Amino acid sequence: MKKPPLPPFDDMDFVLLDLDGTLLDKYFDDYFWEHLVPEKYAEAHNITFGRAKEDLLERYRLHEATLNWTDLDFWSAELGLDIPALKEQIRHMIEVHPHVREFLALMRAKGKKVCLLTNAHYKAIEIKFSQTGIRGYFDHIVTSYEIGHPKEDIRFWEKTGSLIGFGGSRQRTLFIDDTEAILKTAKEYGIRYLLLKEKPASKELAGRAKKNSGLFPTIRDFGEFLE
């Protein structure tokens, strides 16, 4: 089946982008939460790695799609570990997906309003910006903590649209994310151009591969915008 064409740049005023899995390789986060944190938790509680991972995955699920989900301070208190410090230990693993910088530079050169919309905690964002140096590409950076709702919640979109101005330009806005549930909410809000970032992680941990329902057109590599 032939892949549908990408949205035309001339029809866009705003380019909204997710961070983890979309611009950045999600392998860092998958490894962190599913290997390093269980390892440190097992050491702290004198239990096996397998038991620690099973316990933690269940705890993660309880808070999925809530503000707690990516709140580093919440998880530090919940698990008795210094989560930001652990992230710093492996910050060398943080990588930008291929052709992302070129894509961001192109959007800036074309005069688009480039906005980062993320559920990530501000402490995680600071570590990732420090490691990758991509902060300067964005006109606006909006976190779910600033808005008070995760991106899966329509209230995030209502408040953010008013805050940075795309609320009146929904038909001239592109949003790219690696999570279908979030794209569904953006669609409900009325964003016209929606793309699902395929292969959010360069290396998939066991059981992490996402199934694509086919609801949204996809982009596998940001180089597709540069062709």
Distance of CA 156 to the CA centre of its chain: 15
Any catalytic annotation for residue 153?
Answer: no
Q: Which of 10, 11, 55, 71 is catalytic?
A: 11
Q: Which residues are catalytic?
A: 11
